[in-house]
């Protein structure tokens, strides 16, 4: 399950949304993907409200299918983080496919591809396109291994074998620190990696009691980490020690009028420690998707197997501690 809304992914409003489809073929379920365009009324910057009860229901416009018939079942689709929204990567079984959308977006051309080779039936489970390095790198998960790839040569650039004790479910790049990558998996752990040295994780979280399906960095404040799990919980963590602002904001002594104000100011400006900010238990079933809002950095959503969508905010006290 994915959250396809203008709030959650601004790129998708510009070029539609990648939508996985399920087709029955010879008693088998085949997963594929297509590119859709959202109605103009729902695009970012539109002043019209989609909640207007007087308006008619809007439909998506099918632009093109990503033809993966020769490559296997589609695991995920990733838009290029920067650029004009005309490039995307799909993972199909053990294949990485780089697509270019034509000017009309009515056709997707396969520009390059590579295959994961090894023993057994290797399949990708998830992937993430890095917003750094001029968008020339992606990370993929297959079984218990995390790999990095250069999209220009389609060659592997790093490999984290046994990144997790069981299946790796999801990945996400730190938006502000170019070498930092988060992973989560069926071993109930969330791990943070420096891709320049992958022998050991930089940090590990073990707060969930079942499979961790999603991990997401906050787009603006990379110390805020969101995770969702089959234990029906959403956990908001504060990983300030490995963030881009590990020491908080500095206090200028000249701005303090007296010793008492100085003491109070120092106390309020003490750097935050790594901790669990909040645990949300509004879901009654496995949480399969969590996502930060692209419009409001303090807003996030979670989606569970029973179809319940829950929207929450970062606690106000923490918000002001980060901002002030």
- DSSP for 164-232? SSS-EEEEEE-SS-TTEEEEEETTS-EEEEETTB-SS-SEEE---SS-EEEEEE-SS-TTEEEEEETTS
**How many Å apart are CA 160 and CA 129, to the nearest integer?**
17
Nearest residue to 169 via CA among 224, 208, 219:
208
- pTM for this structure? 0.81
β-strands 203-205, 212-217 pairing: unpaired
Nearest residue to 296 via CA among 314, 320, 277:
314
Contact 78, 99 (CB under 8 A): no
> Which pLDDT score is estimated for 264?
46
> Which pLDDT score is estimated for 241?
92
> Which pLDDT score is estimated for 120?
72
152: alpha, beta or left? (left if phi > 0; alpha if psi -120 to 50): alpha
> Which pLDDT score is estimated for 253?
39
Q: Can you read off the two tokens belonging to residue 101?
A: 């959308």
> Average pLDDT of each block of 10 consecutive residues along the chain (324 residues)?
36 45 63 87 60 65 86 91 89 94 85 87 93 96 96 96 96 96 98 96 96 96 96 96 71 42 49 85 96 94 96 88 74
**How many Å apart are CA 191 and CA 294, to the nearest integer?**
24
């Amino acid at each position: 399950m994915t959250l396809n809304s203008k709030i959650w992914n601004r790129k998708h409003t510009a070029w539609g949304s990648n939508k996985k489809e399920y087709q029955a073929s010879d008693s088998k379920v085949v997963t594929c993907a297509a590119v859709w365009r959202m109605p103009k009324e729902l695009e970012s910057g539109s002043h019209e409200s989609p909640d207007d009860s007087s308006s008619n229901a809007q439909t998506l416009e099918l632009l093109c299918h990503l033809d993966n018939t020769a490559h296997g079942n589609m695991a995920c689709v990733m838009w290029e983080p920067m650029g004009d929204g005309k490039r995307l990567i799909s993972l199909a079984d053990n294949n990485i496919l780089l697509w270019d959308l034509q000017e009309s977006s009515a056709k997707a051309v396969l520009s390059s591809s590579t295959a994961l080779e090894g023993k057994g039936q290797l399949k990708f489970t998830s992937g993430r396109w890095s917003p750094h390095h001029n968008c020339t790198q992606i990370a993929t998960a297959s079984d218990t291994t995390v790999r990095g790839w250069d999209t220009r040569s389609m060659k592997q650039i790093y490999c984290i074998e046994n990144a997790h004790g069981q299946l790796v479910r999801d990945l996400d790049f730190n938006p502000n620190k170019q070498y930092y990558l988060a992973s989560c998996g069926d071993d109930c752990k969330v791990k943070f990696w420096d891709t320049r040295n992958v022998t050991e994780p930089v940090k590990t979280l073990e707060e969930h009691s079942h499979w961790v399906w999603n991990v997401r960095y906050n787009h603006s404040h990379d110390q805020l980490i969101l995770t969702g799990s089959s234990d029906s919980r959403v956990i908001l963590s504060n990983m300030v020690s490995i963030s881009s602002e590990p020491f908080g904001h500095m206090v200028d002594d000249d701005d303090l009028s007296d010793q008492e104000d100085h003491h109070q100011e120092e106390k309020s400006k003490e750097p935050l420690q790594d901790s669990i900010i909040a645990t949300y238990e509004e879901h009654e079933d496995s949480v399969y998707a969590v996502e930060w809002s692209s419009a409001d950095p303090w807003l996030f959503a979670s989606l569970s197997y029973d179809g319940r969508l829950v929207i929450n905010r970062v606690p106000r006290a923490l918000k002001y501690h980060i901002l002030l």
